[in-house]
Amino acid sequence: MILYSLLWLLHLLPGKILSLFSYILHLLLYHVAGYRKKVVFGNLRNSFPDLDENEIRHIAKRFYRHLSDLMLEEVLSNFDSEKQHFQRMTYQNPEILHGLYRQGKQVIGVTAHYGNWEFLTTLGRITGYKILGAYKPMKNKHIDRIIRKNRERYHSVPVPMEKIIRVMIQYQREKIPALTVFLADQRPLFRNIQYWTNFLGQDTPMYLGPEKMARKLDAAVVFLKIRKIRMGRYETEVELICEDPGTMKEHEITKAHVRILEKMIREAPEYWLWSHRRWKHSYKKFLETKGLETPERDD
């Protein structure tokens, strides 16, 4: 109760004071705790081999600054009024979704752990679609419950990955227009890998889920490009990848959203989640495990 009261009071502070709190938190994460610094620096060095160590360190420090913003945003947004929460994310090109809605198309929205993806729960404000969010449940049941509750506050529906296909098919059968959001930069389980590509200069396994579901449901696919304006304020541009997945070649949808994401990261790398062990799986080990079975790659 004391902690809750302190967080509520913190939520009332003006933006400049909250920014100072975030700066202090970033100093603690980077200089004192060294939170996942080995993973962050390793990912950055492998992704940007042409940059020298000073440039890598500069991006890393900016990432930790953003990570501190992100942590405070996640905690303090629980105290937002509906009006305050809807102000945290604005949208460009919503007319793309309006047009698809009028056609009666189901939509798959692809995005990543970039900016503050949690604020995409406000998508329901700009469209008639029911918003479904595919996610991996947390091992900590208490934290998972908090995350689900926060996502459900604004009428989006968090759905565990293992149930998302069934729920999407159910919505289609019941003729409920749904926009399902996938975080496509997650690392697949080793046994589930079906596709590899060159992403940020590295062999990277990618989920084919968004593409497969688009074809199964004849759903349009859009990319949700997030930009950070300042702490607590973001903007998302809706970019159409395809209206008719049947006209796309195999893996073409996946290649398209991977290239958009890569471009977005290269333009402002500090806003991607570099503390995630994205390249844990080895392509060489995968080939050795599978023998002669070699999945298609986009080089």
Averaged over 231-247, what is the pLDDT? Answer: 97
What is the model's pLDDT at position 298? 63
Domain edge (last residue) among 61, 79, 97: 79
Averaged over 215-224, what is the pLDDT? Answer: 97
Q: Is residue 280 part of a domain?
A: no
Q: How confident is the model at residue 16 (pLDDT cuts 50, 70, 90)?
A: confident
Q: Tens of pLDDT along 154-202?
A: 778 889 888 999 999 999 999 999 999 999 999 998 988 999 999 999 9
Q: Is residue 261 part of a domain?
A: yes
Residues 218 and 184 in one domain: yes
Q: With helix as H, strand as E and coil as C, how does the chain read?
A: CHHHHHHHHHHCCCHHHHHHHHHHHHHHHHHHCCCCHHHHHHHHHHHCCCCCHHHHHHHHHHHHHHHHHHHHHHHHHHHCCHHHHHCCEEEECCHHHHHHHHCCCCEEEEECCECCHHHHHHHHHCCCCEEEEEECCCCCHHHHHHHHHHHHCCCCEEEEHHHHHHHHHHHHHCCCCEEEEEECCCCCCHHHCCCEEEECCEEEECCCHHHHHHHHHCCEEEEEEEEEEECCEEEEEEEEEECCHHHCCCCHHHHHHHHHHHHHHHHCHHHECCCCCCCCCCHHHHHHHHCCCCCCEEC
Range scoring the smallest mean pLDDT among 25-34, 230-239, 287-296: 287-296
Q: Higher model confidence: residue 140 or residue 21?
A: 21
Instruction: Flag whether pLDDT at 6 surpasses 90.
Output: no
Q: Tens of pLDDT along 252-267?
A: 999 999 999 999 999 9
Q: Is residue 252 part of a domain?
A: yes
What is the model's pLDDT at position 290? 76
Q: pTM of this prediction?
A: 0.92
**Percent of residues, the chain, with pLDDT higher than 90:** 72
Q: Taking all residues of the chain, what is their mean pLDDT, rounded to a whole number?
A: 90
Range scoring the smallest mean pLDDT among 76-90, 132-146, 160-174: 132-146
Instruction: Flag whether pLDDT at 103 surpasses 60.
Output: yes
Residues 246 and 140 in one domain: yes
Q: Is residue 284 part of a domain?
A: no
Q: Is residue 223 part of a domain?
A: yes
Structurally, the chain folds into a number of domains equal to: 2
Residues 42 and 147 in one domain: no
Instruction: Flag whether pLDDT at 153 surpasses 90.
Output: no
What is the model's pLDDT at position 230? 96
Residues 121 and 266 in one domain: yes
Residues 19 and 133 in one domain: no
Q: Is residue 286 part of a domain?
A: no
What is the model's pLDDT at position 8? 65
Residues 115 and 237 in one domain: yes
Domain edge (last residue) among 79, 112, 132: 79
Q: Higher model confidence: residue 292 or residue 31?
A: 31
Instruction: Flag whether pLDDT at 2 surpasses 80.
Output: no
Instruction: Flag whether pLDDT at 208 surpasses 60.
Output: yes
Residues 99 and 160 in one domain: yes
Q: Is residue 285 part of a domain?
A: no
Averaged over 122-147, what is the pLDDT? Answer: 83
Q: Is residue 288 part of a domain?
A: no
Instruction: Flag whether pLDDT at 56 surpasses 60.
Output: yes
Residues 176 and 209 in one domain: yes
Residues 166 and 201 in one domain: yes
Domain edge (last residue) among 55, 79, 103: 79
Which residues form the domain of 68?
2-79
Q: How confident is the model at residue 85 (pLDDT cuts 50, 70, 90)?
A: confident
Residues 45 and 130 in one domain: no
Instruction: Flag whether pLDDT at 150 surpasses 80.
Output: no
Residues 154 and 17 in one domain: no
Q: How confident is the model at residue 151 (pLDDT cuts 50, 70, 90)?
A: confident
Instruction: Flag whether pLDDT at 142 surpasses 90.
Output: no
Residues 75 and 95 in one domain: no
